[in-house]
Structure 1
């Protein structure tokens, strides 16, 4: 990880200094990586920067842990307030599901199976994992006949990988471009599972929360920021290691599980998200924090 790279570099520099003290005549190891040294310097500056603030709000349990362990912020100054999304906009709606599918050409007839629909949304760029997703989908469509014949992938968002997804074929992939909030609500209703292949450790990605509040299970990268707060168990969705083989296996598992199992997971995902990830709960948490900061007597009031 980023932090362990820096720790190893600092230990390496300490070893170099110790060797120099023992005897200058001994052969010294090659100089350390300039890029890693710069990264270490940036973290040191960040540590100094964060210490200047009286209070810190972390948007996930993992971010809070990083603030306390890496940036050495005292626990009483770190507050975990999970991101929230508008539950009045993002919610299960059968009519939106059918109308959105109809508009984009995903139809189910009496004499053929209803397609299983995967959804991707957000910035279609490299660090969001789209090269990984593209390669995994390509492999699944080549090797899995059921997926090739019965899976449709909806891609919502803007970025260079939008055109690349079209190379997978119009029978399996529909690139929608960027969507406004109303259309995005229809998008989440139209899919059976939401996929977020991000390669970056971050806070709580809003697309994951929007999908869960909409009653959809999620398939996401096995990162601490995700498994610590969002996909905390297999009853809510699927996780994968950030490599093509693991993601392809996870997609194949989704196909194998089928829509009935996905609906069950989606129901549990929505129940959890309504407890934790709504905009109203987030606003209440910030209000309690500000009251507590202004008057310590408010700190003892239970939520």
Structure 2
């Protein structure tokens, strides 16, 4: 649910706060950190099944009636192995993969590590015309590019049909968005196909609206959006099952696109929780490497991703320029490449533009921050950077879009929200600075607990695994043995 912006300003008052109140706060924080650390450690080691209680009832009935993310289900191990065909836009090749490539790699390597036979039909992220095949255990990846470097569907289907006839046919087919176009769906045997939507045109329409209002953009983008939206609503029913990565997207597909409720599901994205970890040491090394002051008085903010307009960098650029005049002790680390990198460098010594970071550098980057800022003007999907920062025990500053506040930053314990305009962002960043490091640390701990319960590669892969198993064998939909975990619980899976 949405919540009021920067409402935590009243949590800690200014220097007039009494000593007794500060002492009580510090003791409370110490207890909270100890309990949270104890919980995080032992919840990862506890493999015992979750027991039901009045506050944690079992989910009974058809899983297709579940409106919450499948990630929240308490799912035990399964013994049956699946043979899955996957169509995705691109596969990570090179040192700096994008968010979608990282998602695909994380999900399908996780499923393969669980013993499932995964066949991925894709192209390389560097857009080369390479035609290669490689396998890593149960993970098989086939590059089938056309002359433009995008997926050659005819070639991909030739390989698909050949593999489908070997040993035994595919149990199910999965496509990431329209990597498998709707006019090719009829070529899938029995129509057994599920599609995961990482963004829909209804959300893109909102994106164009926000950018129009924020940047005085020509209205042509909005005029072009509506026909694309109508076309999308018409072809969506050609896919059999739909997976959304946010609760708000599910509501749109059911209430506006008018898809049957039982054909629309939510499985949120996860990141490799073994790579994005809390490590003050790596954060300190990162600060030293990039010349960031570490005298205990600075609040270090960070932003990452493509440094382009629709990611909200005009907002953050203007907001931070105003903020640094109010609070000279703030610092901004900018990770990524794009035209706005040079503009950020104009803001002076309080900003470090780092360029694009390699995957192994990202955890150190997040750990170097006090708070992570995502100013995006694209209210679609779920940006992995928010989840990665939360896994590294960092609170977040995000726009109050339905996809974010309805699924990720569902509570003010996890950070701050703002309306996508400069004034609101300045007010929110001002609240961040005034709250100070103790409040930010508390919010970061809450982020980690919640992220472990929802946004891990383990939990994401388990949800997809059970989903495909249920699609193959509908009797599993009615087992009635699942428990719906409340926010922050993570008792049934080893990470």
Normalization by structure 1: what TM-score? 0.84
**Deviation sequence 1:252-283 (CA, Å, 0-9, x none):** 10000001100000000110111001111000
Tell me by how many angstroms 1:36 deviates.
5.6
CA contact (8 A) 2:287 2:294 kept: no
Equivalent position of 1:165 in the other structure:
344
Alignment partner of 2:406 out of 228, 242, 253 = 228
Asked if residue 116 in structure 1 is aligned to residue 295 in structure 2, the reply is no
Asked if residue 138 in structure 1 is aligned to residue 321 in structure 2, the reply is yes
Equivalent position of 1:214 in the other structure:
392
Equivalent position of 1:69 in the other structure:
255
Q: Distance in 2 between matches of 1:51 and 1:176?
A: 44
Equivalent position of 2:448 in the other structure:
270
CA contact (8 A) 1:64 1:78 kept: yes
Specify the SS of the correspondent of 2:238: coil
CA contact (8 A) 1:96 1:189 kept: yes
Alignment partner of 2:372 out of 190, 194, 215 = 194
Equivalent position of 1:44 in the other structure:
230
Alignment partner of 1:279 out of 457, 461, 464 = 457
**Deviation sequence 1:204-229 (CA, Å, 0-9, x none):** 11000000011100000111111101
Specify the SS of the correspondent of 2:357: coil
CA contact (8 A) 1:61 1:228 kept: yes
Q: Distance in 1 between matches of 2:375 and 2:382?
A: 14
Q: Distance in 2 between matches of 1:38 and 1:212?
A: 36
Q: Greater share of helix residues, 1 or 2?
A: 1
Asked if residue 90 in structure 1 is aligned to residue 272 in structure 2, the reply is no
**Deviation sequence 1:151-210 (CA, Å, 0-9, x none):** 11000011100110001002x100000001111110000001000001111111100000
Tell me by how many angstroms 1:140 deviates.
1.1
Q: Distance in 2 between matches of 1:245 and 1:117?
A: 20
User: Residues 35 and 231 from structure 1, CA distance in 2 versus in 1: closer, same or farther, beyond 3 angstroms?
Assistant: closer
Equivalent position of 1:125 in the other structure:
308
Q: Distance in 2 between matches of 1:168 and 1:38?
A: 36
Q: Distance in 1 between matches of 2:372 and 2:330?
A: 13
Alignment partner of 1:205 out of 346, 368, 383 = 383
- 1:149-164 correspondence runs (5 A): 150-164=329-343
Equivalent position of 2:265 in the other structure:
79
Q: Distance in 2 between matches of 1:263 and 1:59?
A: 28
Unpaired runs of at least 5, structure 1:
7-32
**Deviation sequence 1:120-167 (CA, Å, 0-9, x none):** 00011100100010000011112x1xx21x111000011100110001
**Deviation sequence 1:73-125 (CA, Å, 0-9, x none):** 1110011000000100001012111111111112334xxx4321101000111
Tell me by how many angstroms 1:71 deviates.
1.3
Tell me by how many angstroms 1:298 deviates.
1.8
Equivalent position of 1:300 in the other structure:
478
CA contact (8 A) 1:106 1:115 kept: no
RMSD: 1.9
Unpaired runs of at least 5, structure 2:
1-200, 206-218, 484-495
CA contact (8 A) 1:291 1:299 kept: no
Specify the SS of the correspondent of 1:85: coil
Q: Distance in 1 between matches of 2:233 and 2:226?
A: 11
Q: Distance in 1 between matches of 2:314 and 2:398?
A: 15
Tell me by how many angstroms 1:230 deviates.
1.2
Tell me by how many angstroms 1:35 deviates.
6.7
